[in-house]
Amino acid sequence: MASPAIAHYGTTIIETPAPTGVDQRAIPYTGALAATLQLLELYGFEPLIENMYAGVGRQYIRRRGQITDPDYIEFDAFTSYRAVQRPSTATARVGDTIFRLTHQHPVEVFRQAAAQSLLTPANRSANANSFLCGDSLWLLARGPNGQLFELGPTQLTRRDNNVVHIWTATETLDQTTSDFCTQFGMQEAQSALFHDVAQVKYLQRQRPGMTIGLLTPLPGEQVTPRWSDDIFLEAGYSHYRMGSPDKQRTLAASREAFPDGGDVSFVYFRDSYLELVQVQEDDPTLAG
């Protein structure tokens, strides 16, 4: 089967290079990598694939559920030996990405993760209290790899579980909207206030189900330009998978980031780093 258009998210993690002559697999998990894998286990993820790249880093892909499940998800805990922390800024940067992470018992699992310092609320403490008390369904929280998540209850459809939010410059919002709709068959949905930190324009499609939320600054605020396009350099750099109904056309509208890996292409599309795949007629994600 060709690579399906699943919810597949990933984030670059800093890791110290392996000593010369030491098998990468023999090196214990430490730091952000260890904490990220612990967080994924807490959320019900299981090992799927492990890859060792000599001189580059290590890759641990975890999955939860079966591909036909509407809440199926994979996470790529990917380390780079040359990754560094980018300069801090007072605002989000263009391309910063927030992944939705749902769970059947979101409050309980968040309590456990927070108690182990695996998740930290990302904005006002009042928002976390509202989430813990059940007054709010959703919470922004940051993981040990620097990745931001929107935590909340499992949804009935793939479209509402597979949600990716991307910080976008206000002046490019219209063109970015048009490009996602043209290349991926998305349709404009509602606009709203996003966790009191941004405006969001939602783009959605039913088959295969997915939602893109384009985040723009609130009035009087701004977003900082992206620091780097190098996924191996910037710790916290996010990537995700998208399926195109016409991959060759989308490739022509994208910029190559890395040589193809089989039927998966690694490209820059607008402000995102994508694992780009062709949506096949037998893609299991077309159901649900």
Same fold, 8-86+229-286 and 97-216: yes
What does CATH list as the number for 8-86+229-286? 3.10.180
Residue type present at position 5: A
The CATH T-level fold of domain 97-216 is: 2,3-Dihydroxybiphenyl 1,2-Dioxygenase; domain 1 (3.10.180)
The C-alpha atoms of residue 191 and residue 123 are separated, in whole angstroms, by 21
Residue 5 CA, chain-centre distance (Å), reads 14
Following DSSP, what letter does each residue of 172-225 receive, concatenated?
Answer: GHHHHHHHHHHHH--EEEEEEEETTTEEEEEEEETTTTEEEEEEEPPTT---BP
pLDDT classification of 286: cutoffs 50, 70, 90: confident
Q: Helix, strand, coil shares of the chain as percentages rounded to 5?
A: 20, 40, 40
Sign of CA dihedral 258, 263, 267, 271: negative
Query: Tens of pLDDT along 48-92?
Result: 999 999 999 999 999 999 999 999 999 999 999 999 999 999 999
Please tell me which residue, 21 or 170, carries the higher pLDDT value: 170
For 18-37, how does the pLDDT look when each residue is reduced to its tens digit (9 = 90+)? Answer: 888 899 999 999 999 999 99
Range in 49-53, 146-150, 191-195, 281-285 with the lowest mean pLDDT: 281-285
Question: What is the domain partition of the chain in residue ranges?
Answer: 8-86+229-286, 97-216
